[in-house]
Homo-oligomer: A and B are copies of this chain.
Amino acid sequence: MQKPSLPKGTRDFGPEQMARRNHIFDKIKTTFQKYGFQPLETPSMENLSVLTGKYGDEGDQLLFKILNSGEFLKKTSVSDYESGEKVVLPKIAEKGLRYDLTVPFARYVVMNRHSVNLPFKRYQIQPVWRADRPQKGRYREFYQCDADVVGTDSLICEAEIIMMMTEVFSKLGLDSYEIKINNRKLLSALAELTGTKEKESDLLVAIDKLDKIGMEKVLEELKSKGFSDDSLEKILPVLQLSGSNDDKILTLEKLFESSESGKRGVEELKEIFEILRITNTPSDKVVLDLTLARGLSYYTGAIFEVKPLNVKMGSISGGGRYDDLTGVFGMPDLSGVGFSFGVDRIYDVMEELDLFPDEGLKTIDVMVAHFDQESLKYGLGVLAQLRRNGISAEIYPDLAKPKKQFSYANNKNIPNVIVIGSEEIKTGLLSLKNMKSGDQESLSIEQIIDRIK
């Protein structure tokens, strides 16, 4: 007899959490669909040849590998064993659990290159796995919610990312946040400006730490990487740019007037804001932030990140434009733009701000309670009538004291209970109890159906 437990870093989601999580997933899904994105699902396991080398050395370490089934040692020898994990691994494991949704998406596009309808707008909401050290807010299994468009350079896609972010958070009642936007081309231009184009990635890495370590330490790091005082003097004002987005754009326009990359970056930003204007998208939460780097050298154009205000929490959504999704699988030059929502963090923010609607999360409209065998039978007919009218309903299935039945309904957050006794059977008027207010009324079944619908 064993006491069962969960693998560390994993979670069960019981009914209440599921209702809350589904509330978030639903808003995300309906928004993706409203913008023309179609669902895709890929297998949980991928061949390690597909996954390995896509996430850096650290990522490779964090892949969960699946042991080959059957005689998994058959391809190995004692000398392999003595050489250690690196030699043994490829001989005993050919598959791994997906680490993100981007690589499987790229694989899908390449494998279906002849049938995929470009520009291809797909969304994908599935769990991913990482053998990370579990800690608060970091799990070994968690959902990603990605939407990407590939096969077009149109900046409409960038603007629509802002629209979708705005729509999802508005539907969730989350209104205190910032959508930061930047453009990789501006960061390149910044590196050019300092005459250290070859050190662009050092610049990116340092800027990316700004939030965590502050400006002073960033400048120190840049100095240690060989940036001159002179070049730092050029960087600092750009990183400290203030004013409205329009002000910032004007400043950048002048600053980068002789940089090809800078000019294009500014142009792209201007067009994105223009599309937001044409479509009447509120852009008051959009903040042009030259310090947004998002680590990934992967991005080539716009970069996005959403941070909640008033809550201590990392980004709850982010993304950007990339030039080459599928090159690593032999299909070069497929450009795209994508973003994702961090559901676990959104959940935590909503919980902290008490944004989950009570009403929206109930799953069952009504329970039928009874006193004895006769009222139970009568209740079954009532139940059937409720369900026939599209009402979600259940009957307490056993003979039990009213208190027990009510406490069951209460624990399950069922808002209405119909109580049936001999009096109710005689008159045909049923007692409908509102579980929140405690009010009780005598109503016909038709009236109850109207009321609940």
Residues of A within 8 A of B (CB): 1-7, 10-15, 18-19, 22, 33-36, 38-47, 49-50, 61-62, 64-67, 69-73, 76, 78, 81-82, 84-85, 88-89, 92-95, 97, 107-108, 110-112, 115, 117-119, 121-122, 127, 129, 131, 140-141, 149, 152-154, 156-157, 275, 278-281, 328-330, 363-364, 367, 377, 380-381, 383-384, 387, 390-395, 397-398, 408, 411-412
List 26 A-B pairs, Cβ < 8 Å.
Answer: A2-B49, A7-B47, A10-B45, A12-B41, A19-B38, A19-B39, A22-B39, A35-B387, A35-B394, A36-B364, A44-B44, A62-B69, A66-B97, A67-B67, A67-B89, A67-B93, A69-B131, A73-B84, A118-B408, A119-B397, A152-B397, A153-B398, A156-B397, A275-B380, A278-B380, A280-B381
Residues of B with C-beta under 8 A to A64 = 45, 66-67, 69
Residues of B with C-beta under 8 A to A108 = 12, 14
Residues of B with C-beta under 8 A to A45 = 7, 10, 64, 129, 140-141
Distance from A197 Cβ to chain B, minimum over Cβ atoms (Å):
29
Once bound together, how far apart are the Cα atoms of A367 and B82, in whole Å? Answer: 62
Q: In the complex where A7-B47, A398-B152 touch, is A384 in contact with B33 (Cβ < 8 A)?
A: no
Q: In the complex where A2-B330, A71-B85 touch, is A18 in contact with B40 (Cβ < 8 A)?
A: yes
Once bound together, how far apart are the Cα atoms of A141 and B46, in whole Å? Answer: 12
Once bound together, how far apart are the Cα atoms of A66 and B392, in whole Å? Answer: 40
Instruction: Please give 18 more A-B residue pairs, beta carbons under 8 A apart, in addition to A3-B329, A6-B46, A72-B85.
Output: A4-B111, A7-B95, A11-B43, A13-B39, A13-B41, A14-B108, A19-B38, A36-B367, A36-B393, A61-B70, A64-B67, A67-B89, A67-B92, A70-B131, A117-B411, A278-B381, A278-B384, A279-B383
Distance from A387 Cβ to chain B, minimum over Cβ atoms (Å):
6
Once bound together, how far apart are the Cα atoms of A399 and B140, in whole Å? Answer: 44
Cβ-neighbour of A380 out of B66, B279, B390 (below 8 A): B279
Q: Is the CB of B281 within 8 A of A38?
A: no
Once bound together, how far apart are the Cα atoms of A72 and B86, in whole Å? Answer: 10
Residues of B with C-beta under 8 A to A69 = 61-62, 64, 131
Q: Is the CB of A41 within 8 A of B65?
A: no
Once bound together, how far apart are the Cα atoms of A108 and B411, in whole Å? Answer: 18
Once bound together, how far apart are the Cα atoms of A411 and B411, in whole Å? Answer: 48
Cβ-neighbour of A112 out of B14, B129, B156, B392 (below 8 A): B14
Q: Is the CB of B39 within 8 A of A12?
A: no
Residue of B nearest to A92 (CB): B67
Residues of B with C-beta under 8 A to A364 = 33, 36, 38
Residue of B nearest to A326 (CB): B4
Across the A-B interface, give the 6 residue pairs with the lowest CB-CB distance, nearest first.
A36-B394, A154-B397, A10-B43, A15-B38, A69-B131, A279-B384
Q: Is the CB of B65 within 8 A of A40?
A: no
Q: In the complex where A34-B393, A78-B78, A363-B38 touch, is A4 in contact with B88 (Cβ < 8 A)?
A: no
Q: Is the CB of B41 within 8 A of A18?
A: yes
Residue of B nearest to A15 (CB): B38
Residues of B with C-beta under 8 A to A129 = 44-45
Q: Is the CB of A15 within 8 A of B34?
A: no
Residues of B with C-beta under 8 A to A89 = 67, 72
Once bound together, how far apart are the Cα atoms of A13 and B131, in whole Å? Answer: 26
Residue of B nearest to A153 (CB): B398
Q: Is the CB of A18 within 8 A of B38?
A: yes
Residue of B nearest to A48 (CB): B7
Once bound together, how far apart are the Cα atoms of A247 and B11, in whole Å? Answer: 51
Question: Which of A1, A15, A157 has most chain B Cβ within 10 Å?
Answer: A15
Q: In the complex where A4-B107, A66-B67, A67-B93 touch, is A40 in contact with B15 (Cβ < 8 A)?
A: yes
Q: Is the CB of A85 within 8 A of B111?
A: no
Residue of B nearest to A104 (CB): B12
Residue of B nearest to A407 (CB): B117
Once bound together, how far apart are the Cα atoms of A93 and B92, in whole Å? Answer: 12
Residue of B nearest to A81 (CB): B81
Distance from A83 Cβ to chain B, minimum over Cβ atoms (Å):
10
Cβ-neighbour of A156 out of B92, B149, B380 (below 8 A): B380
Residues of B with C-beta under 8 A to A85 = 71-73
